Amino acid sequence: VGMSDGSMEPTQEDGSQIALDFDNAREYIERAKEIRLHESRAQLEAFKLGLAAVVPVQLFSLFTEKELEVLICGQAEMDTSLLKQCTEYEGVKPDDDHVEYFWEVLEEMTSEQRTEFLRFAW
């Protein structure tokens, strides 16, 4: 199984010698899924221990993962003016009416709406 760092992890002993076919595909997928799901377990445990040294672990259950992300990382703010400066135009000019309308609408959006828009457009 290909890991996040580019290395390969066998799903079983001598797994590279076993041909993958319809009969063993489900078992392979299950093993591959388990390997990938648990590849970061040690790092996550270390993070949890470090965070628990500062914040009582019992408080974690009071928040959703999104709320914890905002508490730990802060609210992500997209700088529309910076994005505008870095934008390269093809087939249109920055001062075209529809381009200016686009930037006006983007600036009127909430931070969350801009984030969702960028996820969609990317």
For residue 104, is pLDDT > 90?
yes
Q: What angle do CA 55, 78, 122 make, to 5 degrees?
A: 110
Q: Which pTM value belongs to this model?
A: 0.43
**pLDDT for 44-70, tens place per residue?**
899 889 988 988 888 888 999 888 888
- Candidates 77, 86, 71; CA nearest to 114 is 77
